[in-house]
A and B are shown apart, each in its own frame.
Chain A
Amino acid sequence: MMKSRRVLEFFIEGAIFLAGTVSILFVILIFIFLLKEGLALFRTVSVWEFLAGKNWYPISDPPRFGGLSLILGSIWVTAGAIVISVPIGVACAVFIAEVAPRWLREVLKGSVEFLAAIPSIVLGFIGLVTLVPLVQKIFGLSTGLTALSGSLMLGFMAMPTIVSIMEDALTAVPRSYREGALALGATHWQAIWRVVLPAASSGVIAALMLGIGRVIGETMAVMMITGNAARIPTTLLEPVRTMTATVAAEMGEAVQGSPHYFSLFAIGIVLFLITFIINLTADFFLHRKK
């Protein structure tokens, strides 16, 4: 009886240990499988051509796999989203954490976080029927499917991440910091601007990094409203195509084992590395404050 129980516990604790390490295993597996399929591209295309080549014609003959327009597409859309979401997101987090009355705080935070629960495909659909025609009308364009539409939508979608993590960071600043500033005669705003925000700076940076990570990785909404034209963008008012949208749009028609198929995994490697670095950095900042 005792012996069988001990055997049982041995197996259960073994399972617990295995499950504990499974996260490491999956990160490694994801990277291995991306490399396994993605690196095959570089037997026919040079790394330089893939990263800096201007022509993305994966199904013409001969195919061209210059990914520059896709990389720039992602950068433009992301840069636009950052410009929109950083000031507004930071302001919203400060309002919720420092200015709003206590009873309102949970309601506001809950509402912003609720935005994160709306599936990106639904936001893409709503963007397609509201935002896209609006952008077209305001700027008098032939199509509203532009980088700007994508930036606006992605900036909006990054808000829950930015606001929620930053609000936590602001709330974690000890009360005595604020009281000290107020006792010295600072106004409420001066206390926030000069004392609370600098004290929470690690958390603020982490929140912004994770928000950016979310923007770069977003796929469906951005694919639906940016127009998907694989060419080098010169303004925000042109259609662009991001890396994520390229993978999602083209994998369906790529023949397994073809250079086209490999090239989409190669884009996956780039995306994985970018988000990996962003997450490591954000994690570093989050843990530094402790």
Chain B
Amino acid sequence: MNPRITQRIAFTFLFLSTLLILVPVFLILLMIFRDGFQALSWQFLTAYPRLGMRAGGIFPAIVGTVYLVAATLAFSLPVGILAAIYLSEYAKDNWFKRVIEVAIVNLAGVPSVVYGLFGLGLFVIFLKFGASILAGSLTLSIMSLPVIITASREALGTVPLSFREVSLALGATKWQTIRRAVLPNALPGMITGTILALSRAAGETAPILFTVAAFYLPRLPRSIFDQCMALPYHLYVISTQVPNVKLSIQYGTALVLILLVLAMNIVAIVIRAQFRKRKLW
């Protein structure tokens, strides 16, 4: 066959394949936004579910997800950043560093439901936290760690070596150098990566299924040892577990979850863009 014709056929196939992925993505968003906005109202966002979750709002689920994300942030950010500092600034290029890297890759690949099992086994039962915000957010934290570590390490890697050399030459200790010369310049990249990891944690269902999520709670959680409702689990419940829930409520819940995830992604992108503009080297 004429190579030009082959090329035309091949490129058409490549183009169609790309469309086959992108068109559904836009259709899905379109559907959720179109049908979800009809359900959206002040009352939907601020009221408790009523009539076995067939009416009313999703307020406790929103609050629960916000609590979970906040607690996950508190646990995973310090550990993630310190781990990244170790890998980027302290670890020597040897087998031990490779083992850590392989461990991170594997943590990133563990199925979310296995994290759920692990959280149940370790936090809920072995450490006796019970099904609680503490157990759920610790589980989500471990799941978020690989993303935070990888992004933070990349951010540290972009700080030029000369910054460190100058600081050390002026007599600063290693930790002073990291704290004053390296961290401030890597922080925006670290924050971006962390927000992206948290946006994923916010949408996860399987890890919170047995560690924190409540089917229905008529009140807000009072402490970190309480169970709470959460948006992703609530969407699961009203779309598969409770019969005869109006489609508009399901779409509305999906929309609120997507908006939350999107908002976090946009914040992350804005921080990154701001930082690039300001970058001094």
A95/B14 contact (C-beta < 8 A), A24-B99, A34-B117, A219-B206 known: yes
Please, which residues of chain A bring their CB within 8 A of the CB of B55?
Answer: none
The answer to whether B173 and A9 have CB atoms under 8 Å apart is: yes
Q: A34 vs B96: C-alpha distance in the bound complex, in angstroms?
A: 25
Q: Which one of A44-52, A60-68, A125-133 contacts B? A: A125-133
Please, which residues of chain A bring their CB within 8 A of the CB of B232?
Answer: 119, 121-122, 220
A196 to chain B, nearest CB (A): 13
Please, which residues of chain B bring their CB within 8 A of the CB of A248?
Answer: 113, 116, 206, 209
Q: How large is the interface on B (under 10, 10 to 19, 20 to 34, 35 or more residues)?
A: 35 or more
The answer to whether A279 and B236 have CB atoms under 8 Å apart is: no
B3-32 with Cβ < 8 A to chain A: 3-4, 6-7, 10-11, 13-15, 17-18, 20-22, 24-26, 28, 31-32
A92/B250 contact (C-beta < 8 A), A20-B90, A187-B4, A279-B109 known: no
A202-220 with Cβ < 8 A to chain B: 210, 213, 216-220
B228 to chain A, nearest CB (A): 16
Please, which residues of chain B bring their CB within 8 A of the CB of A24?
Answer: 99-100, 103
Please, which residues of chain B bring their CB within 8 A of the CB of A256?
Answer: 125
Please, which residues of chain A bring their CB within 8 A of the CB of B233?
Answer: 121
Query: Is A59 part of the binding interface, using a Cβ–Cβ cutoff of 8 Å?
Result: no
Q: A96 vs B14: C-alpha distance in the bound complex, in angstroms?
A: 9
| A-contact bits for B168-208, CB 8 A (1 contact / 0 none) | 00000111000000000000000000000001101111100
**Among A126, A159, A188, A224, which residue has its beta carbon within 8 angstroms of that of B240?**
A224
Q: A36 vs B200: C-alpha distance in the bound complex, in angstroms?
A: 29
Query: Is A57 part of the binding interface, using a Cβ–Cβ cutoff of 8 Å?
Result: no
Please, which residues of chain A bring their CB within 8 A of the CB of B174?
Answer: 9, 13
The answer to whether A23 and B21 have CB atoms under 8 Å apart is: no
A265/B117 contact (C-beta < 8 A), A95-B15, A283-B105 known: yes
Interface of A, helix, strand, loop or mixed by DSSP? helix
Q: A42 vs B13: C-alpha distance in the bound complex, in angstroms?
A: 50
| A-contact bits for B258-270, CB 8 A (1 contact / 0 none) | 1001100100000
Query: Is A189 part of the binding interface, using a Cβ–Cβ cutoff of 8 Å?
Result: yes
Q: Which one of B44-52, B56-64, B142-150, B271-279 contacts A? A: B142-150
The answer to whether A271 and B114 have CB atoms under 8 Å apart is: yes
The answer to whether B121 and A34 have CB atoms under 8 Å apart is: yes
For the complex, count residues of A whose C-beta is within 8 A of B. 84
Q: Which one of B79-87, B158-166, B217-225 contacts A? A: B79-87
Closest chain B residue, CB of each to CB of A12: B175
The answer to whether B21 and A27 have CB atoms under 8 Å apart is: no
B97-126 with Cβ < 8 A to chain A: 99-118, 120-122, 125-126
Please, which residues of chain A bring their CB within 8 A of the CB of B175?
Answer: 9, 12-13
Q: A265 vs B258: C-alpha distance in the bound complex, in angstroms?
A: 31
Query: Is B257 part of the binding interface, using a Cβ–Cβ cutoff of 8 Å?
Result: yes
Given contacts A26-B142, A280-B102, 10 further A-B contacts (CB under 8 A): A23-B100, A37-B121, A91-B18, A92-B21, A95-B18, A119-B258, A120-B203, A190-B7, A218-B111, A220-B205
**Complex A-B, nearest 5 residue pairs according to Cβ-Cβ distance, in ascending order:** A119-B203, A217-B111, A20-B86, A19-B82, A91-B17
Residues of A within 8 A of B (CB): 5, 9, 12-13, 15-24, 26-27, 29-30, 33-34, 36-37, 87-89, 91-92, 94-96, 99-100, 108, 111-112, 114-115, 117-126, 128-130, 156, 159, 163, 187-190, 193, 210, 213, 216-220, 224, 244, 247-248, 251-252, 256, 264-265, 268, 271-272, 275-276, 278-280, 282-283
